[in-house]
Amino acid sequence: MTPGRDLVLLTGASGYIGGRLLRALADAGHRVRCLARRPDYLAGRVTPPTTIVGGDCLDAASLEPAMAGVHTAYYLVHSMGSGGDFESQDREAARNFAHAARDAGVQRIVYLGGLGSAATSLSAHLRSRQETGALLASTGVPVVELRASIVLGSGSLSYELIRALVERLPIMICPRWVWTPAQPIAIEDVIAYLLETLTLPARTDGVFEIGGTDRVSYGEIMREYARQRGLRRLLVAVPVLTPWLSSLWLGLTTPVYARVGRKLIESLRNPSVVDDDRALRTFVVRPMGLQQAIARALANEDRELAETRWSDAVSSAGVSSSWGGMRFGTRLVDSRAVHVDVEPEAAFAPIRRIGAGSGWYAGRGLWRLRGLLDLLVGGVGMRRGRRDPESLSVGDPLDFWRVETYDPPRRLRLAAEMKLPGRAWLEFEVTPDARGSTIRQTAIFDPAGLAGLAYWYGIYPLHARVFAGMLNGIATRATARIPAAR
């Protein structure tokens, strides 16, 4: 393919892998057309020259205009989350797609399926995934079918399941499927494989098994996640726990819907390891191992958190103030806002002076008590103060915080360095509005297990008082255009 000239059709762009691939294709300079059942859902996520067409793989007639002029078509759709007969729906969708691709003269279909040996009794989910690959190839269009095991990345279904279990349960009762062999692969490596299919020699097709460098089980993945998060977890094996009971267990302890969880667990009884090294002989991608994949997922969580604009997230939900009602992954969020009749520079002035001599605008005694308690358990306390009473720089210590982002007069983000059962951030944003400015204050806490959750909710009365008072104090001083009392 020639970037910028040949057209790529992408299905599943609103999903986890499809969304990541969409960004990668655009960054590589490819012309992309997205097929979506709800084009309006994708409208805010794409920029020219990427285009969106309405259509549904279950509606054969809608595929003809979507396929026109396409060189390579990515098939990243499935019906696992549907309430009906997902196997029949997957068959119909694959047949429609294959016939439309043939009729339009598409040069290649790229499909991401699932690892699992056909010699074993495959689960309905894995059986359907592999049947889909065969149906896509049934009309003669060359198909590159990548088969993967567990995909590890911030936001992936398997990773979120693992994270929720490890974070919430110090003792886990584990059925046999937790010890089934697998070969997890990082999301970055999956995207690299999908991208490289565009440069494979013409007529290259067939099944390519892809996986990371380590053969492990779900249990070993959970232990590695716990190690990197500094959590001590006990896994207790039991001889039997039916898929139905397991899915209910997941529904109570993780974000996974019981229906999807049941289909996922049924698949976990099948080993999903790479038995054929054809992918390593054909592609230049060299996948990373388990330790690096989890480290990357954790790092990406922090990057995505740092880039999140809580003002957008909260306003879109129609919430002006919330206590623990918002979540970002495992993180708990308290966000509140106030309007002030001054320009952003004046609204930001008390924020840039916060801490040390200026104080925290509310609950001075409580802040001092928190600093003393921190010192008693070996923390830094409030004794560091700040470098300068009027200016800040990224990396500056600020009492028991450190400046992580400083963008006056818009944003100040502080990372906590006090002793905590988890990690915490405090962020202030100032945005202009029709009558002046809006100041938003957001506290974010990433709890470490049950101790972290108990800490967050246990000090709710104090936090509610301090955070509300702090925001009101900032607004009062901004309006009066005076610094805090020293």
Over the chain, what HEC string results? CCCCCCEEEEECCCCHHHHHHHHHHHHCCCEEEEEECCHHHHHHHCCCCCEEEECCCCCHHHHHHHHCCEEEEEECCCCCCCCCCHHHHHHHHHHHHHHHHHHHCCCEEEEEEECCCCCCCCCHHHHHHHHHHHHHCCCCCCEEEEEECCEECCCCHHHHHHHHHHHHCCEEEECHHHHCCECCEEHHHHHHHHHHHHHCCCCCCEEEECCCCCCECHHHHHHHHHHHHCCCCEEEECCCCCHHHHHHHHHHHCCCCHHHHHHHHHHHCCCECCCCCHHHHHCCCCCCCHHHHHHHHHHHHHHHHHHCCHHHHHHHCCCCEEEEEEEECCEEEEEEEEEECCCHHHHHHHHHCCEHHHECCCCHHHHHHHHHHHHHCCCCCCCCCECCCCCCCCCCEECCEEEEEEECCCEEEEEECCCCCEEEEEEEEEEEECCEEEEEEEEEEEECHHHHHHHHHHCHHHHHHHHHHHHHHHHHHHHHCCCCCC
How many angstroms separate the first and last alpha carbons of the chain?
66
pLDDT on residue 205: 94
Q: The dihedral of CA 338, 340, 343, 348: what is its sign?
A: negative
Name the superfamily (CATH) of residues 7-302.
NAD(P)-binding Rossmann-like Domain (3.40.50.720)
Per-residue model confidence as pLDDT tens for the chain (486 residues): 777 679 999 999 988 899 899 999 999 999 999 999 888 777 777 888 899 999 999 999 999 999 999 999 999 987 655 555 778 899 999 999 999 999 999 999 999 999 988 766 777 778 888 999 999 999 999 999 999 999 999 878 788 778 878 887 888 877 777 888 999 999 999 999 999 999 999 889 999 999 999 999 989 999 999 999 888 899 887 776 555 556 555 655 554 444 455 556 666 778 899 999 999 999 999 999 999 999 999 888 777 666 555 444 444 334 444 444 445 556 788 888 999 999 999 999 999 999 988 889 998 888 888 889 988 888 888 888 888 888 899 989 999 999 988 999 999 999 999 998 888 999 999 999 888 999 999 998 888 877 888 888 888 788 888 989 999 999 999 998 655 544
Q: How many CB atoms lie within 10 A of CB 458?
A: 10
pLDDT on residue 361: 92
CATH of domain 310-480: 3.30.530.20
Give the CA angle between residues 190, 195, 199 to the nearest 5°. Answer: 135
pTM for the full model? 0.71
pLDDT on residue 482: 58
pLDDT on residue 11: 96
Name the β-bridge partners of 110.
Answer: 74, 144
pLDDT on residue 242: 58
Radius of gyration of the chain (CA): 26
Q: Give residue 380's Cα distance to chain centre.
A: 32
pLDDT on residue 256: 47
pLDDT on residue 317: 39
Q: Give residue 349's Cα distance to chain centre.
A: 34
Q: What are phi and psi of 332, to 5 degrees?
A: -105, 140
pLDDT on residue 340: 94
Q: How many CB atoms lie within 10 A of CB 366?
A: 16
Give the CA angle between residues 269, 272, 278 to the nearest 5°. Answer: 160
Cβ atoms of 375 and 381 closer than 8 Å? yes
Question: In the chain, where are the structural domains located?
Answer: 7-302, 310-480
